[in-house]
């Protein structure tokens, strides 16, 4: 039986994201005003306008980079996890074969991790959603823990692909 399911999870901004946005906004405005005022007194005033516009655009670009979504794609026992930044760039974080999972469960406050493990955090940062983890030995990433926030339907499909002792 073929299995295919996609789920898109929007990461809610946390305190650090909000602080980054505020700092970027303030810096972009200060640089834009400085460029405009510095070049307006010279014969190169058009450059002041261009640099100010560039600073505002750069600030906008950096602020929108804090908008992150994760996409989970389950296809016949393989779970692909993608990170989508501002709906303009996509990066594959990992492809996991669910048959080779070593441990699976709901995330509790004291998750056993070591410093040699690769941790992929693809959670929604939403207190209303439950977070789960998958531990495995990945071929390129080594000992890996995936943290993710599946819906109930996605969770059931993932559980069906796991080894019998973990279901």
Radius of gyration of the chain (CA): 22
From 61, 78, 75, select the one nearest 21 (Cα to Cα). 61
pLDDT at 113: 67
Mean pLDDT over the full length of the chain: 89
Does the residue 142 lie in any domain?
no
DSSP E strands, the chain: 4-10, 68-75, 78-85, 89-97, 101-106, 118-122, 132-138, 142-148
Does the residue 56 lie in any domain?
yes
Does the residue 139 lie in any domain?
no
Does the residue 144 lie in any domain?
no
Q: Print the domain residue range for 29.
A: 15-64
pTM of the model: 0.85
* Ranges of the chain with pLDDT below 70: 1, 110-114, 167
Q: How many domains does the chain have?
A: 1
């Amino acid at each position: 039986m073929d299995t295919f399911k996609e789920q898109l999870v929007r990461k809610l901004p946390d305190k650090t994201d909000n602080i980054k946005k505020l700092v970027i906004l303030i810096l972009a405005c200060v640089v834009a005003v400085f460029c405009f005022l510095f070049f307006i007194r010279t014969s190169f005033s058009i450059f002041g306008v261009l640099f100010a516009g560039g600073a505002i655009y750069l600030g906008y670009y950096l602020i929108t980079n804090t908008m992150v979504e994760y996409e989970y794609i389950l296809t016949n026992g393989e779970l692909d996890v993608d990170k989508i930044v501002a709906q303009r760039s996509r990066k594959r974080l990992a492809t996991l074969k669910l048959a080779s999972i070593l441990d699976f469960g709901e995330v509790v406050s004291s998750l056993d991790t070591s410093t040699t493990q690769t941790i992929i955090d693809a959670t929604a940062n939403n207190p209303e959603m439950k977070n789960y983890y998958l531990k495995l030995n990945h071929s390129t990433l080594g000992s890996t823990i995936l943290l993710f926030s599946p819906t109930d339907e996605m969770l059931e499909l993932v559980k069906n692909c796991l080894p019998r002792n973990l279901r």
